Amino acid sequence: MFRIARLDTPEVAIAIPENRLPEVRRATRVEVSLWADAARTYPARLREIAAVADSATRTYAARVAILEPDAAVTLGMSASVRFRTGEAEERLAIPQAALFQKDGRPAVWVVADDATVSVRAVDVVRYTDDAVELAAGLQRGERIVVAGVHKLAEGEKIRVAERNGALAAAPGAVTR
């Protein structure tokens, strides 16, 4: 048993979660960025998706071919792959600390004008190192709680602390 690597068409081996397959199949554009130089992107093409999910991870093995590689692309490098669907690319991103689970779903606390909080379910697109990208659930300009989210209750009034345009309901900042 052996593997052959084609040097003229480098590929990225990835695992696609089953809940992301529809998005991947709708993609109109695929991009690859190397971890060694994340600022540079390469056009790519989804070459292959396994017919059956891995029984342990429930992910589908896939291969993405880098279409215009340069000398920076070498075998064994790590890379990130983005599937672009042509939908609005700029999504709302919130701090990870603002997200919590309510009834098994991701949610945030939205702050009303009178400083009362209400829980709102959100649809997460992806998690990054420092943020969570949302597909739905929040509108730009809405105020959310980013600290102390596990100590709040529906309808509770909070004392708002502004920090870089974000709100925080820090422990001890909740008024009953």
pLDDT, one tens digit for every residue, the chain (176 residues): 766 666 678 999 999 998 888 889 888 899 999 999 888 899 999 999 999 999 999 999 999 999 999 989 988 899 999 998 765 556 788 999 999 998 889 999 999 999 999 999 998 888 877 788 888 888 888 999 988 888 888 999 888 776 655 544 443 333 32
Going 134 to 138 to 139 to 140, the CA torsion angle's sign is: negative
From 5, 19, 8, 7, select the one nearest 125 (Cα to Cα).
19
From 162, 149, 151, select the one nearest 110 (Cα to Cα).
149
Check: CB of residue 108 under 8 Å from CB of residue 147.
no
**Structural domains in the chain plus CATH codes:** 11-84 (2.40.30.170), 92-175 (2.40.420.20)
Check: CB of residue 107 under 8 Å from CB of residue 57.
no
